[in-house]
Amino acid sequence: MLMTSVLAVALGYSTVSGPEAQTVTVSPAAIAKIGHFSQSIGRDGKTHLRGFDCRTGQPFDLAVATDGHVEGSVGIWDISFQVRDPA
């Protein structure tokens, strides 16, 4: 699972609409907007992504479970969505 894709969706640089599965393509410009972030794996097996949105300066703190469930916060917003690797 590409964590830059997860971050691009969470930060609003790539949009996803509708309830059906979609493929997200992240442009190099969107990756540049994400900037630097830290990635670690917790004892719970989740990948934790932490950093600051380069565009707004808001902090983000996301946890990505091995089953693809993403939850966390971006600024004052709590977010949750599901991702999966392409087949």
Residue 83, pLDDT score: 85
Residue 65, pLDDT score: 94
Residue 82, pLDDT score: 87
Residue 42, pLDDT score: 93
Q: Residues of the chain whose pLDDT is less than 50? A: none
Residue 54, pLDDT score: 86
Domain boundary assignment for the chain: 3-82
Within its chain, how far is the Cα of 53 from the centroid?
Answer: 11
Cβ-Cβ contacts under 8 Å for 34 (sequence gap 6 or more): 4, 7, 8, 11, 13, 51, 53, 54
Element (H, E) at 60: strand 59-64
Per-residue model confidence as pLDDT tens digits over 13-27: 877 666 666 667 777
